[in-house]
């Protein structure tokens, strides 16, 4: 680009800027007009929020926020009714670390609680990872900024009744063979389609669903059941026409497809309808006058393709299948890593011995409590003045195949409630054994007055299912946490925190995931070695992608155990907007269709075990703080760095201002040097700035030949 082109581009950019300003002003005016009209409608004596919501393109909650008089009577009564006074309780997240922790020092040891506990609030459902991606949030009432209160277990017989299993809902070994599906791999940018050993070049036109199905079934008339999109992201073709990516995806999935309709499921396969996700959606279609069923999916569910062509991606799936078959002779690669992971796990359930009858599913109440109180990865950006505005360096360490390190022990059996009084009556040895076991605890936490490092325990932050990690000296908060994090708070290498036990859930220790995880770790090790030593660059690349797929099987398989409350999506013709369910949220609409979503609560899933996911996540978060390397007689983690040198946590990664000499033996959980900027940089203050520095650091390290 020369100076003339540069100046011309700047002029065009300013024009776009001005157009954006005009569009925003017009949108603001339209929204104000809409809100005024809603207020006018609310003045009508028989007005109902559920009638106004679809007409306005808002949820019922949004309408009530604008016109409180339209709140349902049941909700108003619930808000004004006095709640009984109840004593306080703990919070959750628990999974054992790799080695048994040493006894916690008596200083700062857990103490019983005597304070009163608030009445348990309602747990709002959130979208299931296998149903609907919520995407960017629309404007919400200001109440979202209020502190979030975690639920507690009710006192007395009501709370005690939670400690059971759901009748006739048990994880058991399957008595059928999973059926493979004929799969093709398609690059919608180039039109290259790979089916088995054959390559075809398609004319995809506008890359709509209709065009893709027509082109694929023209060259492969019968039998194709799954189409993986390896590149092109066709669901984003019209993204500039919609405020959110999810809206563009929903429009793409629901566009007219002559000869096809939305799939309604078949046989044992209950998966039906589309999965609206901003980047990895799933479209499910069925012939209008036939038995043909087909899915359109993104390979991005499994791994980042980068520049791999469809043939290499297909080879990766072949290598993955071959590697899994060494451990499961009936292994089948299903549509997603989470489906594949849980299917493989069910095939490791013992058919004789202690758990031959399977693993019962917890009561819906305990599953709801775990859903609301057990977060997943720690994502925290620490900004000035807690860190310098100018960082001397930025170093990224990522825990290799992290979750695989925390599957060796998990909760099993019927859970027991451990009240504050029960815990206080135990001996010190009994208390320590319980805290090191498989438990989920509600605790009142106090940060030491002289603390000068990062926070240790998650606390509820304003917003929906968001968490922060208080670190200010003297701060007191109530939360739920798992055994590994409680142990870290009591026995960390710097200073013990004060932990007051308010309530708890305690299980027996078991190994329901150990065999499954060991087989996946061996598969991952084998494919990683192939990627390193294979002489053919394409096969080496395919083996690397396959190893990343194994990681996804374990990672998303664990996430699937969490079984969040589900959201379903649906469409209603604009002419019949009164048929939109009253508790649905409008997520997009055009001249013909209204697309909505609504919560459906927990499904009767025989493989729902949020206690396992919570334990693993807690163990992984604790290992970000401190992790022992027994063979090297050393420790790694954030608490083994100088105060003020931790910049960010991002699920399994740590961002620091100085390199560390932590051991890396290519084992799950080891800290791998992933990126390094050796020059001073401005401290990031947003996630976007952090990710930009991350990418620059990885590129810089790759140029020097360091890291992986």
Is the separation of the CB atoms in 125 and 599 below 8 Å?
Answer: yes
- Which class for 27: exposed (0-12), middle (13-18), buried (19 or more C-beta within 10 A)? exposed
Where residue 60 falls among pLDDT bands split at 50, 70, 90? Answer: confident
Lowest mean pLDDT among 207-211, 274-278, 493-497: 274-278
| Position 123 pLDDT exceeds 50 | no
Lowest mean pLDDT among 75-84, 504-513, 698-707: 75-84
DSSP conformational letter for 103: P
What is the three-class DSSP state of 472? coil
Measure the CA–CA gap between 145 and 125, rounded to whole angstroms: 18
Closest CA to 399 of 636, 148, 181: 636
Q: Helix %, strand %, coil % for the chain, to 5?
A: 35, 20, 40
- pLDDT, residue 126, reads 33
- Mean pLDDT calculated for residue range 21-44: 82
Measure the CA–CA gap between 453 and 645, rounded to whole angstroms: 9
| Average of per-residue pLDDT values in the chain | 84
What φ, ψ does residue 682 adopt, rounded to 5°? -75, 135
Where residue 408 falls among pLDDT bands split at 50, 70, 90? Answer: very high
Where residue 266 falls among pLDDT bands split at 50, 70, 90? Answer: low
Closest CA to 690 of 378, 380, 376, 300: 380
- Mean pLDDT calculated for residue range 497-515: 96
Where residue 138 falls among pLDDT bands split at 50, 70, 90? Answer: very low
| Position 128 pLDDT exceeds 70 | no
Closest CA to 396 of 697, 178, 666: 697
- 264 vs 87, residue with greater confidence: 264
- Mean pLDDT calculated for residue range 645-660: 96
Where residue 465 falls among pLDDT bands split at 50, 70, 90? Answer: low
Closest CA to 408 of 101, 563, 567, 619: 619
Where residue 42 falls among pLDDT bands split at 50, 70, 90? Answer: confident
- pLDDT, residue 140, reads 34
- Mean pLDDT calculated for residue range 472-498: 95
In percent, the amount of the chain with pLDDT more than 70 equals: 84
Which pair of structure tokens corresponds to residue 60? 């019922």
Q: What is the rounded (10 degree) CA torsion for 193, 194, 200, 203?
A: 0
| Position 619 pLDDT exceeds 80 | yes
- Mean pLDDT calculated for residue range 258-283: 80
Lowest mean pLDDT among 116-120, 340-344, 444-448, 691-695: 116-120
Q: Quick: pLDDT tens for 528-552.
A: 999 999 989 999 999 999 999 999 9
- pLDDT, residue 267, reads 55
- Mean pLDDT calculated for residue range 668-681: 95
- Which class for 516: exposed (0-12), middle (13-18), buried (19 or more C-beta within 10 A)? buried
| Position 562 pLDDT exceeds 50 | yes
Cα 456 to Cα 26, 108, 466, 467, distances in angstroms: 46, 14, 16, 12
Lowest mean pLDDT among 271-280, 336-345, 424-433, 594-603: 594-603
Beta bridge partners of 629: 634
Where residue 567 falls among pLDDT bands split at 50, 70, 90? Answer: low
Measure the CA–CA gap between 415 and 94, rounded to whole angstroms: 13
- Mean pLDDT calculated for residue range 403-427: 95
- pLDDT, residue 580, reads 81
Q: Quick: pLDDT tens for 241-255.
A: 888 888 899 999 999
Which pair of structure tokens corresponds to residue 390? 């100018």
- pLDDT, residue 268, reads 52
| Position 207 pLDDT exceeds 70 | yes
Contacts of 449-452 with C-beta under 8 Å, sequence gap 24+, read 449/473, 449/474, 450/495, 451/494, 451/495, 451/497, 452/643
| Position 188 pLDDT exceeds 90 | yes
- pLDDT, residue 94, reads 33
Distance from the Cα of residue 278 to its chain's centroid: 14
| Position 598 pLDDT exceeds 80 | no
Which pair of structure tokens corresponds to residue 336? 């997603």
């Amino acid at each position: 680009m020369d100076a003339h082109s540069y100046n011309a581009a700047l002029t065009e950019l300013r024009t776009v800027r001005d157009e954006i300003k005009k569009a925003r002003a017009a949108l603001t005016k339209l929204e104000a007009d809409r809100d005024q009209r809603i207020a006018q409608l609310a003045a009508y004596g028989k007005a109902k929020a559920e009638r106004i919501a679809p007409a306005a393109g808002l949820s019922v909650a949004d309408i009530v926020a604008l016109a409180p008089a339209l709140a349902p009577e049941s909700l108003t009564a619930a808000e004004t009714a006095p709640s009984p006074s109840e004593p306080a309780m703990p919070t959750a997240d628990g999974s054992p670390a790799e080695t048994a922790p040493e006894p916690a020092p008596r200083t700062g040891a857990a103490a019983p609680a005597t304070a009163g506990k608030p009445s348990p609030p309602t747990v709002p459902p959130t979208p299931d990872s296998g149903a609907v991606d919520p995407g960017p949030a629309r404007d919400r009432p200001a109440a979202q900024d209020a502190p979030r209160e975690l639920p507690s277990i009710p006192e007395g017989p009501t709370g005690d009744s939670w400690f059971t299993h759901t009748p006739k809902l048990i994880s058991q070994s399957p008595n059928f063979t999973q059926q493979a599906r004929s799969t093709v791999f398609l690059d919608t940018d180039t039109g290259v389609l790979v089916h088995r050993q054959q390559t075809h070049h398609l004319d995809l036109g506008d890359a709509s669903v209709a065009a893709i199905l027509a082109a694929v079934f023209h060259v492969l008339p019968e039998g194709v059941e799954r189409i993986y999109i390896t590149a092109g992201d066709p669901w984003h073709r019209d993204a500039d026409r919609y405020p959110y990516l999810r809206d563009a995806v929903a429009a793409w999935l629901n566009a007219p497809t002559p000869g096809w309709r939305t799939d309604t499921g078949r046989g044992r396969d209950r998966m039906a309808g589309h999965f609206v996700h901003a980047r990895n959606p799933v479209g499910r279609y069925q012939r209008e006058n036939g038995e043909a069923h087909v899915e359109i999916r993104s390979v991005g569910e499994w791994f980042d393709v980068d520049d791999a062509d469809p043939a290499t991606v297909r080879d990766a799936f072949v290598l993955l299948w071959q590697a899994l078959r060494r451990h499961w002779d009936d292994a089948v690669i299903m549509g997603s890593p989470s489906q594949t992971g849980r299917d493989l796990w069910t095939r490791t359930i013992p058919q004789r011995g202690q758990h031959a009858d399977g693993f019962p599913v917890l009561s819906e109440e305990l599953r709801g409590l775990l859903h609301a109180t057990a977060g997943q990865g720690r994502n925290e950006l620490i900004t000035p003045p807690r860190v310098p505005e100018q960082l001397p360096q930025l170093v990224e360490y990522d825990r290799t195949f992290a979750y695989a390190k925390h599957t060796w022990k998990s909760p099993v059996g019927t859970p027991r409630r451990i009240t504050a009084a029960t815990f206080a009556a135990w001996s010190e040895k009994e208390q320590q054994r319980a805290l090191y076991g498989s438990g989920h605890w509600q605790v009142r936490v106090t940060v030491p007055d002289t603390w000068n490092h990062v926070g240790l325990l998650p606390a509820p932050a304003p917003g929906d299912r968001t968490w922060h990690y208080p670190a200010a000296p003297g701060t007191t908060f109530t939360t739920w946490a798992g055994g590994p994090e409680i142990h870290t708070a009591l026995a960390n290498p710097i200073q013990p925190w004060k932990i007051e036990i308010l309530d708890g859930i305690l299980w027996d220790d078991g190994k329901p995931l150990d065999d499954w995880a060991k087989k996946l770790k061996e598969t991952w090790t084998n494919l990683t070695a192939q990627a390193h030593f294979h002489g053919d660059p394409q096969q080496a690349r395919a083996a690397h992608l396959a190893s990343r797929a194994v990681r996804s099987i374990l990672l998303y398989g664990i996430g699937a155990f969490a079984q969040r409350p589900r959201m379903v999506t649906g469409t209603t013709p604009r002419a019949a907007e009164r048929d939109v369910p009253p508790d649905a949220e409008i997520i997009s609409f055009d001249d013909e269709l209204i697309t909505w979503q609504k919560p459906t609560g927990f499904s009767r899933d025989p493989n729902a075990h949020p206690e396992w996911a919570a334990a693993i996540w807690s163990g992984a978060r604790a290992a970000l703080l401190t992790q022992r390397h027994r063979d090297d007689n050393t420790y790694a983690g954030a608490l083994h760095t100088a105060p003020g040198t931790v910049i960010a946590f991002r699920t399994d990664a740590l961002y620091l201002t100085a390199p560390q000499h932590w051991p890396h033996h290519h084992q799950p959980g080891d800290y791998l040097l992933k990126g390094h900027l050796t020059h001073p940089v401005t401290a990031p203050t947003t996630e976007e700035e952090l990710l930009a520095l991350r990418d620059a650091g990885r590129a810089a390290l790759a140029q020097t030949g360091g890291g992986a």
